[in-house]
């Protein structure tokens, strides 16, 4: 005491007496805490010491619990720091450690240390005890056996986690894992890799109560336990958790509201139904009905172990071929490490397996927009010797006829569509590929194989045969469309579709699904109850063509228009005001006559008989051109009534700053890539011709050793059945005009500011 008092600077006797009382209180407290550790370890009032003793007794019952000295702050009584680093205001001398009052001491204080529980009932004392024991660095964990509807596993109860987590290897293979709708992170903001979400019923310790718990599936290296039960389990009103010497979990016969602190809650987004794109014009009850149907018939539906419809892909090669084999391509150490992760994931999901095949294709790692890598197999040589599957794609005209007078539309998009089809055991060897880590082969139908689209179309048609045959749904590759005149009929068909999907383990890509919409874009057309019109995006390259500002731009526009002049009656007479501007020694005056002619020609180019409807039965060509200013393309088809090619769709896009530095043949190749992405639904699965004025492009695509950028584009091209034809520049003026327009920018994802800027730059009044 003397040493303690000498360390203080007293100017008054009252201050010294306060310090004497403080010292006596601290001395008694320290004696109580550390004077007899054996008594403390056996006391039920300190869960931290009790839990530590139980853990040590579990390891060696003959040993005494290890005694540790717990340091506390003498100002706020916390174990997280000492008094020197205490963030709390200085406590008044002689005041209570718990509430700060000077009218009583700590042992007489009626206030309990509980900062996270507010307004709890008597049954919520577990939270108070856990909060008292949570100051030391110790997580209270209890082993329980978690019996679900399908399997049994051990679990850890963690009241510090707002969600429940389960390891990937603890989930049976037949359980469908729904993709997560949001990202999660730990307390220290470190990202938590979530593989998916499952919703299942849980029964703990053979209780006669089934709890509907949502689990987040995580990587096997995330935690030691197979399962972690968080607060979404603890806070369930159907059970009651109490602590004595052990954990007791029992059925809660009375309702007791359990309030917890939500400061540490994570935006889990546990229900995928909350992310559904439902027509906002519908009433709230109808929107809720769609969510309930989605959860009942898709998310929480019981799926069979085996698919109801079994189908396998067979690969047939020409008789005169020789086995295709490549050596593994060299790659950096960083890419190898990333490739290992990709291979392990594919092996875990049983999409690939180790291979000893004499066939072997090379691989290419393609960089995604988010920076991650995608594994692509270069099947170009295999595609050359593969006998093509000619299963026809649906006729778009027939689809459009069936959509007339329909009012409500639901569109579903399948996720990883090709992986749903298994490969026949005799054909797996052909789909082998080589990596620095070894040789593997696909057991599921891969992307990039020439027959994949046709085979998938046959597969999906067989699954939904009853609905397709009764004209209840329309299917085009991985797109499923439900069109009806009433909402009730649409919902009824939607339930049938969900039931068939769960029977065959089909999964949806929710970000591309929409429900009960009154207007949709489908197969390049805008469809509503008012009628069917071409998608404005497909002719926007003409509608947005800027007003010419000089002779060169007039010449470019007339080059585009003249290519289809045969379909416009008296074209030369109509276009005379523009042709007059091309005369020598003629002042450039773009007046009202020229503007009227300009708009009239644009109208001709985007209306019948110049612009025709697409048909997959007609001979198709894709005309592409590129310059440092932009890319242009026109999809044309040979019509039966006049045996000539008519335009179907136009597309134009301006180059980015980086693309302006590309070599000419790279620009020409990129123009084809952009055009194929824009017209994918019209060209996938059917033969067509790519027409370009760059002859070196055709030779480049046939090389084995090309730069990585061209290689990525070549891999994208191998999904199509095409041939490349060279045509001189003089015969490509129609696409050359679209590629050299300086002010045009056609992008589906334009922001409002971009569109406003484009319109202003082309407005002659500004």
Q: What are the pLDDT digits (tens) for 295-319? A: 888 888 877 877 888 889 999 998 8
pLDDT value at 63 more than 80: no
Taking CB atoms within 8 Å and a gap of at least 24, the contacts of 41-49 are 41/65, 44/244, 44/245, 46/132, 46/133, 47/129, 47/130, 47/132, 47/133, 47/140, 47/243, 48/133, 48/135, 48/136, 48/138
More confident residue, 586 or 560: 586
- Judge whether 132 and 195 are in contact, CB under 8 Å: no
Give the Cα separation of 681 and 228 in Å (integer): 45
Question: Cβ contacts of residue 283 below 8 Å, gap of 6+?
Answer: none
Identity of the highest mean pLDDT range in 221-225, 379-383, 629-633: 379-383
Give the Cα separation of 459 and 476 in Å (integer): 12
Find, among 305, 289, 260, the residue nearest to 117 by Cα: 260
Q: Please give the average per-residue pLDDT across 70-77, as a whole number.
A: 66
Give the Cα separation of 136 and 72 in Å (integer): 10
pTM of structure: 0.48
505-525 pLDDT per residue, tens: 888 888 888 999 988 887 767
* Residue 594: band (very low, low, confident or very high) from pLDDT cuts 50, 70, 90: confident
More confident residue, 514 or 108: 514
pLDDT value at 134 more than 50: no
Nearest-10 Cα torsion for 642, 646, 648, 654: 180
CA 730 vs CA 544, 580, 631: distances in Å? 24, 22, 17
More confident residue, 251 or 158: 158
- The arrangement of secondary structure in 143-270, i.e. its CATH architecture, is Beta Barrel (2.40)
Q: 552-571 burial string, b = 16+ CB within 10 Å, else e?
A: ebbbbbbbbbbbbbebbeeb
pLDDT at residue 685 in the model: 76
For the chain, what are the domain ranges? 2-112, 143-270, 333-534, 620-761
Let me know if 376 is exposed, middle or buried by CB neighbors in 10 A (0-12, 13-18, 19+): buried
The CATH classification of domain 620-761, taken from the options 3.90.1580.10, 3.30.420.10, 3.40.50.1820, 3.60.10.10? 3.30.420.10
- Asked which of 252-261, 633-642, 754-763 is least confident by mean pLDDT, the reply is 252-261
Give the Cα separation of 645 and 602 in Å (integer): 18
Residue 415, number of CB atoms within 10 A of its CB: 16
pLDDT at residue 130 in the model: 30
pLDDT at residue 241 in the model: 63
Of the chain, the percentage scoring pLDDT greater than 90 comes to 8
Find, among 559, 573, 639, 640, the residue nearest to 605 by Cα: 559
The 3-class SS string of 599-653 reads: HHHHHHHCCCCCCCCCCCCCCEEEEEEECCCEEEEEEEEECCCCCCEEEEEEEEE
pLDDT at residue 42 in the model: 37
- Asked which of 193-202, 375-384, 536-545 is least confident by mean pLDDT, the reply is 536-545
| H-state helical runs in 60-105 | none
pLDDT, mean over the chain: 72
pLDDT at residue 693 in the model: 80
617-661 pLDDT per residue, tens: 788 999 888 888 788 888 888 888 778 888 887 787 878 888 888
Identity of the highest mean pLDDT range in 106-110, 344-348, 460-464, 697-701: 460-464
pLDDT at residue 11 in the model: 66
The 3-class SS string of 730-752 reads: HHCHHHHHHHCCCCCCCCCCCCH
pLDDT at residue 725 in the model: 85
CA 582 vs CA 550, 556, 590, 731: distances in Å? 10, 11, 12, 20
pLDDT at residue 615 in the model: 77
554-579 pLDDT per residue, tens: 887 777 676 666 556 566 667 888 88
Half-sphere exposure of 67 (CA within 13 A, CB side): 10
87-101 pLDDT per residue, tens: 676 776 667 766 767
316-329 pLDDT per residue, tens: 998 888 888 888 88
Let me know if 20 is exposed, middle or buried by CB neighbors in 10 A (0-12, 13-18, 19+): middle
422-463 pLDDT per residue, tens: 999 999 999 999 998 889 999 999 988 888 888 998 999 999
pLDDT at residue 702 in the model: 66
- Asked which of 399-403, 468-472, 490-494 is least confident by mean pLDDT, the reply is 399-403
More confident residue, 161 or 379: 379
Report phi then psi at 487, rounded to 5.
-70, -45
* Residue 683: band (very low, low, confident or very high) from pLDDT cuts 50, 70, 90: confident
Give the Cα separation of 637 and 621 in Å (integer): 6
- Judge whether 206 and 147 are in contact, CB under 8 Å: yes
- The arrangement of secondary structure in 333-534, i.e. its CATH architecture, is 2-Layer Sandwich (3.30)
DSSP track, 501-555: HHHTT--B-GGG-EEEESEEEETTEEEETTEEEE-HHHHHHHHTPPPP-SHHHHH
Q: Please give the average per-residue pLDDT across 31-39, as a whole number.
A: 48
pLDDT at residue 491 in the model: 92
Grouping H, G, I as helix, E, B as strand and the rest as coil, residue 591 is: coil
pLDDT at residue 429 in the model: 92
Give the Cα separation of 565 and 574 in Å (integer): 11
Give the Cα separation of 154 and 142 in Å (integer): 10
pLDDT value at 216 more than 80: yes
């Amino acid at each position: 005491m003397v040493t303690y008092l000498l360390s203080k600077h007293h100017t008054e006797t009252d201050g010294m007496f306060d310090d004497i009382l403080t010292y006596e209180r601290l001395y008694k407290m320290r004696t109580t805490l550390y004077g007899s550790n054996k008594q403390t370890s056996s006391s039920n009032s300190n869960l931290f010491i009790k839990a530590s003793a139980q853990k040590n007794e579990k390891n060696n019952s003959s040993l005494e619990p290890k005694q540790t000295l717990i340091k506390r702050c003498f100002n706020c009584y916390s174990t997280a720091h000492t008094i020197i680093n205490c963030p709390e205001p200085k406590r008044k001398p002689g005041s209570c450690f718990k509430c700060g009052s000077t009218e009583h001491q700590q042992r007489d204080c009626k206030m309990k240390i509980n900062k996270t529980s507010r307004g709890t009932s008597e049954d919520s004392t577990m939270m108070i005890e856990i909060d008292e024991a949570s100051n030391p660095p110790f997580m209270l964990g209890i082993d329980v056996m978690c019996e679900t509807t399908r399997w049994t596993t051990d679990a850890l109860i963690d009241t510090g986690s707002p969600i429940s987590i389960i390891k990937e290897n603890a989930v049976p293979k037949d359980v469908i894992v729904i993709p997560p709708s949001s990202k999660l992170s730990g307390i220290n903001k470190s990202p938590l890799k979530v593989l998916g979400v499952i919703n299942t019923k849980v029964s703990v310790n053979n209780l006669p109560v089934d709890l509907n718990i949502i689990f987040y599936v995580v990587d096997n290296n995330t935690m030691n336990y197979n399962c972690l039960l968080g607060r979404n389990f603890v806070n369930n009103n159907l059970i009651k958790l109490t602590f004595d010497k052990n954990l007791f979990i029992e059925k809660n016969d009375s309702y007791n509201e359990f309030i917890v602190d939500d400061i540490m809650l994570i935006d889990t987004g546990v229900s995928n139904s909350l992310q559904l794109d439902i027509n906002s014009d519908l009433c709230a009850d109808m929107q809720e009905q769609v969510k309930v149907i989605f959860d009942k018939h898709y998310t929480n539906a019981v799926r069979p172990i085996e698919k109801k419809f079994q189908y396998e892909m067979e690969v047939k090669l020409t008789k005169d071929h020789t086995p295709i084999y490549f050596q593994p391509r060299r790659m950096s150490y960083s890419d190898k490490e990333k490739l290992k992760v990709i291979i392990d994931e594919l092996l875990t999901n049983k999409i690939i397996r180790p291979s000893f095949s004499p066939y072997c294709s090379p691989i290419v790692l393609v960089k995604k927009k988010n920076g991650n890598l995608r594994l692509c197999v270069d099947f170009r040589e295999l595609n050359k010797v593969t006998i093509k599957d000619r299963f026809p794609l649906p006729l778009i005209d027939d689809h459009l006829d069936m959509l007339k007078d329909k009012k409500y539309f639901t569109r579903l998009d399948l996720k990883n569509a090709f992986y749903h089809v298994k490969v026949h055991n005799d054909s797996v060897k052909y789909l082998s590929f080589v990596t620095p880590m070894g040789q593997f082969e696909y057991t599921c139908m891969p992307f990039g194989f020439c027959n994949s689209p046709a085979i998938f179309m046959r597969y999906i048609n067989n699954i939904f045969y009853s609905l397709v045959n009764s004209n209840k749904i329309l299917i085009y590759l991985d797109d499923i469309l439900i069109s009806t005149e009433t909402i009730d009929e649409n919902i009824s068909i939607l339930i049938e579709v969900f039931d068939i999907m769960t029977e065959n383990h089909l999964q949806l890509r929710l970000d591309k699904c929409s429900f009960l919409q009154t207007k949709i874009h489908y197969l390049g057309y805008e469809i509503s109850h008012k009628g069917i019109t071409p998608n404005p995006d497909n002719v926007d390259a003409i509608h947005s063509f800027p007003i010419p500002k000089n002779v060169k731009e007039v010449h470019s526009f007339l080059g585009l228009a003249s290519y289809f002049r045969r379909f416009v009656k008296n074209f030369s007479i109509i276009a005379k005001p523009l042709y007059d501007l091309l005369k020598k020694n003629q002042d450039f005056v773009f007046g009202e006559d020229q503007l009227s002619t300009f708009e009239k020609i644009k109208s001709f180019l985007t209306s019948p008989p110049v612009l025709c409807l697409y048909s997959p039965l007609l001979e198709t060509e894709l005309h592409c051109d590129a310059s440092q200013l932009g890319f242009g393309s026109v999809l044309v088809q040979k019509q039966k009534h006049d045996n000539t090619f008519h335009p179907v769709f136009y597309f134009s896009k301006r180059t980015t700053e980086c693309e302006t530095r590309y070599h000419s043949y790279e620009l020409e190749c990129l123009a084809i890539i952009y055009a194929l992405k824009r017209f994918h639904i019209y060209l996938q699965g059917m033969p067509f011709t790519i027409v370009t004025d760059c002859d070196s492009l055709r030779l480049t695509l046939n090389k084995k050793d090309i730069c990585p950028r061209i290689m990525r584009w070549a891999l994208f091209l191998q999904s199509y059945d095409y041939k490349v034809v060279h045509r001189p520049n003089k015969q490509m003026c129609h696409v050359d005009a679209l590629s050299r327009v300086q002010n045009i920018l056609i992008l589906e994802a334009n922001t409002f500011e971009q569109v406003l800027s484009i319109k202003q730059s082309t407005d002659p009044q500004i």
